[in-house]
Structure 1
């Protein structure tokens, strides 16, 4: 299954399959904005998942801004929304897929493969003639049971140990300025993990907010990998959200196998003993 579904395909099949549609809209500066937008209008039948409350776990000041949720808690939440046998999941947002990709990765982490991101998000849906609804669905609980895939992620100790071993290469999804240590606004320390490479997640998108064609993404990512296999990379960002966008792009490009460092820069820089690099690489 492709990690993406087009608005036209979803529109044509909406009444022909058993869908669980996840509205993942969010604004880091205004955490309530996604829920407000959902109330104003969402895809028919969609349920809302909040980045901080559903797609992340509790913060303790040392585990990053968006730590992974407890898999048992997230599985129960998804089950309550109807996830179970026969369901196809589609996640969407209005921010180029950056939050929907987090949901996509989390579902796969929990062992659910029938999940896709709506390419182009809300704008593509409306451009295809899709309507919005203000009706909040009342889902019937499903029978989903998580089969966790812990190997899809690495922890901070593994990244720390890797500085000497170099068993994998870290690829940072943040904007080049933040990677270089310039203009940091979200985290208290500027810079990046030593020896990391940079691939800004927005480079995965076309001007219309849809993902670039698979062949183009493959060529661009092969240049980033520079001879490496995707399996030998770990994707990170500021807090483990936009790194999932890069993971989705790699899957679309036919380059699977990369892992996520969920804590990402916000966890890494919370300990002043950890080294920090600056400047472009």
Structure 2
């Protein structure tokens, strides 16, 4: 199964016994939208809801940080996701949050995981079927083993800034990167990490929410000044849209790329971390 699948592909595969469909819609606190309620109101038939805010380390003061292996395995099993399942993740968010769940599943050891190109927006625009309510599945058996090579932390970011041997790519809107726009979470400084490149996640998508072509994605990285030959760490406000930049880089065949899970929620709250403003 490819990492990116079409609505046509999913429509043909829907109902296969080994297929699990996952709604990973998530919104910013300022969006005033409830992803759980929207899932209940309408979702792709058979889909379960992957709660990015809850499938997290709730003891960590930072938002939706990765949980431990035990919790992740338990939540996947409750959703009916098991070892060997083919998993297709979609969202209905302008933040394109399916990539965050894709990245989490891959980081914890799932092999056959794909993002639905165009998400629920495209599915509904094509007049495809949907369901109301909640879908439950018989518990699966999911073995979670976190690959720490997929994750970066603050200490690693500080080391990278000193060595200047990585590309740091920031998925937030350009105004927030430049320090000209307010952060959606209170108490955070404005700006970006020194040396980071600005590639807003919205630039990766066509108007119908599908990912741009490989050539167009490569052009976006070039336009942002990103050297794809260097190892990459992606960042954003809280580690969600950073996953879309990672996913786009993976589509281009890049493997040495990690998400900084704490992202600006951690970096911007720490008065000791270096910060810059203005364009990259």
- In structure 1, the residue matched to 2:177 is 179
Q: Whole-Å Cα distance in 2 between the matches of residues 32 and 72 of structure 1?
A: 30
TM-superposed deviation, 1:167: 3.0
CA distance in 1, matches of 2:136, 2:45: 12
Contact in 2 for aligned 1:214/1:253 (Cα 8 Å): yes
Map 1:39-188 to 2 at 5 A.
39-54=40-55, 56-58=56-58, 60-61=60-61, 64-96=62-94, 98-187=96-185, 188=188
Q: Is the 8 A contact 1:65 1:267 kept in 2?
A: no
Q: Name the residue aligned to 1:251.
A: 250
- Give the TM-score of the pair, scaled to structure 1: 0.92
Give distance in 1, aligned partners of 2:65 and 2:129.
Answer: 34
After superposition, the Cα gap between the structure-2 partners of 1:121 and 1:97, relative to the gap in structure 1 and judged at 3 Å, is farther
Shift of 1:163: 2.1
User: Which deviates the most, 147-156 or 249-258?
Assistant: 249-258
- Shift, 1:57, TM fit: 2.0
C-alpha deviation, 1:101, in angstroms: 0.6
Give CA deviations for 1:123-143 in whole Å, capped at 9, x if unaligned. 211233321111422311112
Q: Deviation at 1:2?
A: 2.5
Q: Is residue 2:277 matched to residue 1:278?
A: yes
Greater shift in the superposed pair: 80-89 or 4-13: 80-89
Alignment root-mean-square deviation, CA:
1.9
Equivalent position of 1:233 in the other structure: 232
SS at match of 2:63: coil
| Distance of aligned partners of 1:130 and 1:228 in 2 relative to their CA distance in 1, 3 Å threshold | closer
**CA–CA separation in structure 1 for the residues paired with 2:195 and 2:65:** 23
CA deviations 1:25-66 (Å, max 9, x no partner) are 222235761111111111111111222112x322544xx333
Change (3 A) 1:225 1:256: farther
Contact map agreement 1:154 1:261 (CA 8 A) in 2? yes
| Helix, strand or coil at the partner of 1:42 | coil
Indicate how the Cα distance of structure 1 residues 96 and 253 shifts in structure 2: closer, same or farther if over 3 A, else same. Answer: farther
CA drift of 1:175 comes to 0.8
Any conservation in 1 of the 2:197–2:226 contact (CA below 8 Å)? no
What is the number of equivalent residue pairs in this alignment? Answer: 277
Superposition TM-score, scaled by structure 2 size? 0.92
Q: Distance in 2 between matches of 1:142 and 1:97?
A: 29
| C-alpha distance in structure 1 between counterparts of 2:69 and 2:269, whole Å | 24
Counterpart of 1:90 in 2: which secondary structure? strand
Separation in 2 of the partners of 1:139 and 1:190?
A: 44
Equivalents in 1 of 2:131, 2:119: separation in Å?
15
In 2, are the aligned partners of 1:156 and 1:268 still within 8 Å (CA)?
yes
For 1:85 and 1:71, the matched residues in 2 are separated by: 14
In structure 2, the gaps of 5 or more residues are none
Give the whole-Å Cα distance in 2 for the aligned partners of 1:179 and 1:134.
39
1:266 aligned residue: 265
Shift of 1:259: 0.9
Query: 3-state DSSP class of the match of 1:206?
Result: coil
